[in-house]
Structure 1
Amino acid sequence: MKKPDSLRAHLIATMPHLDRDPDKLLMFVDEGRILGTGTGTRSYEYQYTLNLILTNFGGNPDAVMVAVVDWLATNQPELLDNNERRRDAIQFEADILKEDLVDLSIKLPLTERVIARTVAGRWETEAISEPAPVESDWLAIFERKAAGG
Protein backbone atom coordinates (compact mmCIF):
# COMPACT_ATOMS: atom_id res chain seq x y z
CA MET A 1 0.00 0.00 0.00
CA LYS A 2 1.47 3.27 -1.11
CA LYS A 3 -1.20 5.86 -0.37
CA PRO A 4 -0.54 6.24 3.38
CA ASP A 5 3.11 7.10 2.73
CA SER A 6 2.11 9.42 -0.12
CA LEU A 7 -0.36 11.30 2.10
CA ARG A 8 2.19 11.50 4.92
CA ALA A 9 4.76 13.05 2.54
CA HIS A 10 2.16 15.51 1.23
CA LEU A 11 1.14 16.60 4.73
CA ILE A 12 4.75 17.06 5.82
CA ALA A 13 5.48 19.10 2.67
CA THR A 14 2.46 21.35 3.18
CA MET A 15 2.65 21.57 6.98
CA PRO A 16 6.34 22.00 7.87
CA HIS A 17 5.80 21.72 11.65
CA LEU A 18 5.04 18.02 11.07
CA ASP A 19 8.54 17.56 9.68
CA ARG A 20 9.97 18.96 12.92
CA ASP A 21 7.74 16.76 15.08
CA PRO A 22 6.74 13.68 13.01
CA ASP A 23 5.49 11.79 16.10
CA LYS A 24 2.41 14.06 16.08
CA LEU A 25 1.25 12.45 12.83
CA LEU A 26 -0.09 8.91 13.22
CA MET A 27 -1.67 6.72 10.54
CA PHE A 28 -3.59 3.49 10.84
CA VAL A 29 -5.14 1.26 8.19
CA ASP A 30 -8.52 0.07 9.46
CA GLU A 31 -11.17 -2.24 8.01
CA GLY A 32 -8.84 -3.49 5.29
CA ARG A 33 -9.92 -6.02 2.70
CA ILE A 34 -8.79 -7.41 -0.63
CA LEU A 35 -11.20 -7.40 -3.54
CA GLY A 36 -10.42 -9.77 -6.42
CA THR A 37 -11.04 -8.52 -9.94
CA GLY A 38 -13.35 -11.36 -10.89
CA THR A 39 -11.51 -11.68 -14.20
CA GLY A 40 -9.59 -14.88 -13.59
CA THR A 41 -6.34 -12.99 -12.97
CA ARG A 42 -4.62 -12.68 -9.61
CA SER A 43 -4.85 -8.89 -9.68
CA TYR A 44 -6.70 -7.27 -6.80
CA GLU A 45 -7.67 -4.06 -5.08
CA TYR A 46 -6.94 -2.95 -1.54
CA GLN A 47 -9.94 -1.33 0.15
CA TYR A 48 -9.42 0.23 3.56
CA THR A 49 -10.08 3.18 5.80
CA LEU A 50 -7.04 5.31 6.45
CA ASN A 51 -7.23 6.87 9.90
CA LEU A 52 -4.97 9.92 10.05
CA ILE A 53 -4.44 11.32 13.53
CA LEU A 54 -2.77 14.60 14.44
CA THR A 55 -2.01 14.70 18.16
CA ASN A 56 -1.73 17.90 20.16
CA PHE A 57 -2.55 19.92 17.06
CA GLY A 58 -2.59 23.66 17.68
CA GLY A 59 -2.87 24.94 14.13
CA ASN A 60 -5.79 25.89 11.96
CA PRO A 61 -7.84 22.78 11.08
CA ASP A 62 -8.52 24.32 7.66
CA ALA A 63 -4.82 23.92 6.83
CA VAL A 64 -5.10 20.17 7.45
CA MET A 65 -8.39 19.79 5.59
CA VAL A 66 -7.27 21.66 2.48
CA ALA A 67 -4.06 19.58 2.40
CA VAL A 68 -6.12 16.37 2.61
CA VAL A 69 -8.59 17.54 -0.05
CA ASP A 70 -5.69 18.58 -2.30
CA TRP A 71 -4.10 15.13 -1.96
CA LEU A 72 -7.44 13.40 -2.61
CA ALA A 73 -7.93 15.39 -5.82
CA THR A 74 -4.99 13.49 -7.31
CA ASN A 75 -4.96 10.22 -5.39
CA GLN A 76 -8.64 9.37 -4.85
CA PRO A 77 -10.56 11.91 -6.95
CA GLU A 78 -13.91 10.10 -6.90
CA LEU A 79 -14.22 11.00 -3.21
CA LEU A 80 -14.54 14.61 -4.32
CA ASP A 81 -16.19 14.22 -7.72
CA ASN A 82 -18.85 11.57 -7.12
CA ASN A 83 -22.01 12.90 -5.42
CA GLU A 84 -22.68 9.62 -3.62
CA ARG A 85 -19.09 9.07 -2.48
CA ARG A 86 -18.27 12.59 -1.34
CA ARG A 87 -21.23 12.79 1.06
CA ASP A 88 -19.49 10.54 3.61
CA ALA A 89 -15.98 10.39 2.18
CA ILE A 90 -14.06 12.56 4.61
CA GLN A 91 -15.02 11.96 8.21
CA PHE A 92 -13.34 13.51 11.21
CA GLU A 93 -13.43 13.69 14.98
CA ALA A 94 -11.69 16.10 17.30
CA ASP A 95 -10.88 15.68 20.95
CA ILE A 96 -10.61 19.20 22.32
CA LEU A 97 -7.74 19.18 24.78
CA LYS A 98 -7.58 22.92 25.44
CA GLU A 99 -9.00 26.00 23.78
CA ASP A 100 -6.36 25.93 21.05
CA LEU A 101 -5.21 22.30 21.12
CA VAL A 102 -6.93 19.19 19.71
CA ASP A 103 -6.32 15.60 18.77
CA LEU A 104 -7.73 15.41 15.23
CA SER A 105 -8.72 12.14 13.56
CA ILE A 106 -9.58 12.06 9.84
CA LYS A 107 -10.90 8.90 8.19
CA LEU A 108 -10.63 8.35 4.44
CA PRO A 109 -11.99 5.35 2.50
CA LEU A 110 -9.17 4.52 0.09
CA THR A 111 -8.53 1.98 -2.63
CA GLU A 112 -5.39 0.86 -4.43
CA ARG A 113 -5.31 -1.36 -7.50
CA VAL A 114 -2.57 -3.95 -7.96
CA ILE A 115 -1.76 -5.87 -11.13
CA ALA A 116 -0.34 -9.34 -10.42
CA ARG A 117 1.29 -11.51 -13.08
CA THR A 118 3.85 -14.27 -13.33
CA VAL A 119 7.15 -13.58 -14.98
CA ALA A 120 9.58 -16.48 -15.37
CA GLY A 121 7.56 -18.51 -12.88
CA ARG A 122 7.55 -15.80 -10.15
CA TRP A 123 4.80 -13.44 -9.07
CA GLU A 124 5.33 -9.76 -9.78
CA THR A 125 3.00 -7.02 -8.61
CA GLU A 126 2.59 -3.46 -9.78
CA ALA A 127 0.60 -0.78 -7.97
CA ILE A 128 -1.52 1.17 -10.44
CA SER A 129 -1.77 4.94 -10.01
CA GLU A 130 -5.06 6.76 -10.23
CA PRO A 131 -5.80 8.22 -13.67
CA ALA A 132 -4.77 11.85 -14.01
CA PRO A 133 -7.66 14.25 -13.47
CA VAL A 134 -9.04 15.74 -16.65
CA GLU A 135 -8.97 19.22 -15.18
CA SER A 136 -6.01 19.86 -12.88
CA ASP A 137 -7.56 22.72 -10.91
CA TRP A 138 -9.65 20.75 -8.40
CA LEU A 139 -10.80 23.94 -6.67
CA ALA A 140 -12.34 25.23 -9.91
CA ILE A 141 -14.10 21.89 -10.37
CA PHE A 142 -15.41 21.94 -6.79
CA GLU A 143 -16.57 25.55 -6.98
CA ARG A 144 -18.28 24.97 -10.34
CA LYS A 145 -20.14 21.94 -8.93
CA ALA A 146 -21.07 23.86 -5.77
CA ALA A 147 -22.53 26.60 -7.96
CA GLY A 148 -24.65 24.02 -9.77
CA GLY A 149 -22.51 23.88 -12.92
Structure 2
Amino acid sequence: MLKIDLLRDALMQAMPELKAAPKNLIMWVDRGKALSRDTADLSFAFEFQLNVLLVEFASDIATFALAILIWLRTNQPDLFALGADAFDFEVDILDNGKVDLQIRLQLRQNVTVAITPQGAKASYLPEPAPLFVDDLPFGGLDADPILTSITVNGEDLPPWSMVDGE
Protein backbone atom coordinates (compact mmCIF):
# COMPACT_ATOMS: atom_id res chain seq x y z
CA MET A 1 0.00 0.00 0.00
CA LEU A 2 1.27 3.41 -0.95
CA LYS A 3 1.01 5.08 2.47
CA ILE A 4 3.23 2.46 4.09
CA ASP A 5 6.01 3.12 1.58
CA LEU A 6 5.58 6.89 1.90
CA LEU A 7 5.83 6.77 5.70
CA ARG A 8 8.89 4.51 5.63
CA ASP A 9 10.62 6.90 3.21
CA ALA A 10 9.68 9.94 5.32
CA LEU A 11 10.99 8.38 8.53
CA MET A 12 14.25 7.37 6.88
CA GLN A 13 14.69 10.91 5.56
CA ALA A 14 13.81 12.61 8.85
CA MET A 15 15.80 10.41 11.22
CA PRO A 16 19.52 9.80 10.54
CA GLU A 17 19.49 7.07 13.18
CA LEU A 18 17.21 4.98 10.94
CA LYS A 19 19.30 5.60 7.84
CA ALA A 20 22.27 4.14 9.70
CA ALA A 21 20.29 1.08 10.91
CA PRO A 22 17.23 0.54 8.66
CA LYS A 23 16.64 -2.91 10.18
CA ASN A 24 15.57 -1.12 13.38
CA LEU A 25 12.40 0.11 11.64
CA ILE A 26 9.77 -2.63 11.45
CA MET A 27 6.28 -2.04 10.02
CA TRP A 28 3.24 -4.29 9.76
CA VAL A 29 -0.53 -4.05 9.27
CA ASP A 30 -3.23 -5.28 11.67
CA ARG A 31 -7.01 -5.26 11.32
CA GLY A 32 -7.03 -4.35 7.64
CA LYS A 33 -10.27 -4.24 5.71
CA ALA A 34 -11.48 -3.23 2.26
CA LEU A 35 -14.43 -0.87 2.07
CA SER A 36 -16.69 -0.95 -0.96
CA ARG A 37 -17.73 2.40 -2.38
CA ASP A 38 -20.64 0.93 -4.36
CA THR A 39 -19.62 2.96 -7.39
CA ALA A 40 -19.92 2.11 -11.06
CA ASP A 41 -16.13 2.01 -11.43
CA LEU A 42 -15.56 -0.39 -8.46
CA SER A 43 -13.42 2.12 -6.47
CA PHE A 44 -12.77 1.15 -2.86
CA ALA A 45 -10.65 1.97 0.18
CA PHE A 46 -8.40 0.10 2.56
CA GLU A 47 -8.63 0.86 6.27
CA PHE A 48 -5.94 -0.58 8.49
CA GLN A 49 -3.87 -0.18 11.60
CA LEU A 50 -0.25 0.44 10.70
CA ASN A 51 2.16 -0.60 13.42
CA VAL A 52 5.58 1.04 13.41
CA LEU A 53 8.23 -0.41 15.71
CA LEU A 54 11.57 1.27 16.36
CA VAL A 55 13.99 -1.20 17.92
CA GLU A 56 16.72 0.06 20.27
CA PHE A 57 15.70 3.67 19.66
CA ALA A 58 18.17 6.05 21.28
CA SER A 59 16.69 9.45 20.34
CA ASP A 60 13.94 11.42 22.04
CA ILE A 61 10.40 10.20 21.31
CA ALA A 62 9.51 13.81 20.41
CA THR A 63 11.83 13.58 17.38
CA PHE A 64 9.93 10.55 16.12
CA ALA A 65 6.52 12.09 16.94
CA LEU A 66 7.40 15.23 15.00
CA ALA A 67 8.36 13.21 11.92
CA ILE A 68 5.06 11.29 12.11
CA LEU A 69 2.98 14.45 12.61
CA ILE A 70 4.60 16.21 9.65
CA TRP A 71 3.85 13.13 7.52
CA LEU A 72 0.24 13.04 8.76
CA ARG A 73 -0.30 16.67 7.71
CA THR A 74 -0.12 15.63 4.08
CA ASN A 75 -0.91 11.91 4.06
CA GLN A 76 -3.70 11.53 6.62
CA PRO A 77 -4.80 15.07 7.52
CA ASP A 78 -7.83 13.95 9.53
CA LEU A 79 -5.40 12.52 12.13
CA PHE A 80 -3.54 15.83 12.26
CA ALA A 81 -6.70 17.85 12.94
CA LEU A 82 -7.15 19.65 16.24
CA GLY A 83 -8.39 17.23 18.89
CA ALA A 84 -7.80 14.11 16.80
CA ASP A 85 -5.90 11.15 18.20
CA ALA A 86 -2.96 11.15 15.80
CA PHE A 87 -1.54 7.86 17.05
CA ASP A 88 -1.08 5.82 20.18
CA PHE A 89 2.17 4.33 21.37
CA GLU A 90 3.90 1.98 23.77
CA VAL A 91 7.46 2.21 25.03
CA ASP A 92 9.58 -0.65 26.39
CA ILE A 93 12.52 0.86 28.28
CA LEU A 94 15.60 -1.26 27.61
CA ASP A 95 18.12 0.80 29.57
CA ASN A 96 18.85 4.45 30.32
CA GLY A 97 19.69 5.18 26.70
CA LYS A 98 17.49 2.95 24.52
CA VAL A 99 13.87 1.94 24.13
CA ASP A 100 11.71 -0.13 21.83
CA LEU A 101 8.96 2.21 20.65
CA GLN A 102 5.78 1.09 18.91
CA ILE A 103 3.15 3.40 17.47
CA ARG A 104 -0.20 2.52 15.94
CA LEU A 105 -1.78 4.64 13.20
CA GLN A 106 -5.34 4.15 11.91
CA LEU A 107 -4.98 4.84 8.18
CA ARG A 108 -7.18 4.87 5.10
CA GLN A 109 -5.89 4.40 1.55
CA ASN A 110 -8.34 5.24 -1.25
CA VAL A 111 -8.13 3.25 -4.47
CA THR A 112 -9.67 4.20 -7.79
CA VAL A 113 -10.46 1.65 -10.47
CA ALA A 114 -10.37 2.43 -14.18
CA ILE A 115 -12.49 0.19 -16.37
CA THR A 116 -10.97 -0.28 -19.83
CA PRO A 117 -11.64 -2.71 -22.66
CA GLN A 118 -8.58 -4.66 -21.43
CA GLY A 119 -10.02 -4.98 -17.90
CA ALA A 120 -9.93 -3.11 -14.61
CA LYS A 121 -6.86 -1.30 -13.26
CA ALA A 122 -6.54 -0.17 -9.64
CA SER A 123 -4.41 2.81 -8.59
CA TYR A 124 -3.91 4.64 -5.29
CA LEU A 125 -5.41 8.09 -4.87
CA PRO A 126 -3.38 10.81 -3.18
CA GLU A 127 -4.88 12.72 -0.29
CA PRO A 128 -6.60 15.98 -1.26
CA ALA A 129 -4.33 19.02 -1.28
CA PRO A 130 -4.11 20.56 2.20
CA LEU A 131 -6.06 23.72 2.89
CA PHE A 132 -2.80 25.54 3.57
CA VAL A 133 0.50 25.08 1.75
CA ASP A 134 2.76 22.71 3.66
CA ASP A 135 6.19 24.28 3.44
CA LEU A 136 7.65 22.72 6.58
CA PRO A 137 11.21 21.48 6.21
CA PHE A 138 11.52 17.72 6.31
CA GLY A 139 14.99 17.00 7.56
CA GLY A 140 14.30 16.20 11.18
CA LEU A 141 15.14 18.46 14.08
CA ASP A 142 18.48 19.45 12.53
CA ALA A 143 16.73 21.20 9.62
CA ASP A 144 16.24 24.95 9.52
CA PRO A 145 13.85 26.06 12.27
CA ILE A 146 10.19 25.82 11.37
CA LEU A 147 9.20 28.61 13.73
CA THR A 148 11.54 31.41 14.70
CA SER A 149 9.29 33.70 16.74
CA ILE A 150 5.83 33.98 18.23
CA THR A 151 3.80 37.13 18.74
CA VAL A 152 1.18 37.22 21.50
CA ASN A 153 -0.89 40.37 22.09
CA GLY A 154 1.57 42.37 20.01
CA GLU A 155 4.61 41.23 22.01
CA ASP A 156 7.32 39.09 20.39
CA LEU A 157 8.26 36.05 22.42
CA PRO A 158 11.75 34.58 22.09
CA PRO A 159 12.35 31.85 19.48
CA TRP A 160 11.65 28.25 20.51
CA SER A 161 15.33 27.47 20.81
CA MET A 162 15.60 30.12 23.56
CA VAL A 163 12.48 28.82 25.29
CA ASP A 164 14.11 25.38 25.45
CA GLY A 165 17.10 26.93 27.18
CA GLU A 166 19.50 26.62 24.26
Under TM normalisation by the shorter chain, which class is it?
0.7 to 0.9
Q: How much has 1:40 moved relative to structure 2?
A: 4.0
Deviations 1:98-118 (A, max 9, x none): 112100001000001001122
Looking at structure 1, the residues matched to 43 and 113 of structure 2 have their Cα atoms a distance apart, in angstroms, of 5
Superposed counterparts of 1:103-114, under 5 Å? 103-114=100-111
Q: For structure 1, which segment, 51-60 or 112-121, has the greater mean C-alpha deviation from structure 2 after superposition?
A: 112-121
Looking at structure 2, the residues matched to 12 and 36 of structure 1 have their Cα atoms a distance apart, in angstroms, of 33
Indicate which of 125, 128, 139 corresponds to 1:131.
128
Superposed counterparts of 1:7-86, under 5 Å? 7-81=7-81, 83=83, 86=84
Structure 1 gap ranges (5+): 141-149
Q: CA RMSD in A?
A: 1.9
Q: How many residues align?
A: 138
- Indicate if the aligned counterparts of 2:88 and 2:103 stay in contact, CA closer than 8 A: yes
Deviations 1:13-61 (A, max 9, x none): 0111211110000000111000000234311000001000000001111
Indicate which of 97, 101, 106 corresponds to 2:98.
101
User: SS at 1:38's partner residue?
Assistant: coil
Give the 4+ runs in structure 1 shifted more than 6 A.
none
Query: Which one has a larger percent helix, Structure 1 or Structure 2?
Result: 1
User: SS at 1:98's partner residue?
Assistant: coil
Counterpart AA for 2:30: D
Counterpart AA for 2:90: E
Structure 2 gap ranges (5+): 137-145, 148-166
TM-score (norm 1): 0.86
TM-score (norm 2): 0.77
Query: Which of these two proteins has the greater Rg computed from alpha carbons?
Result: 2
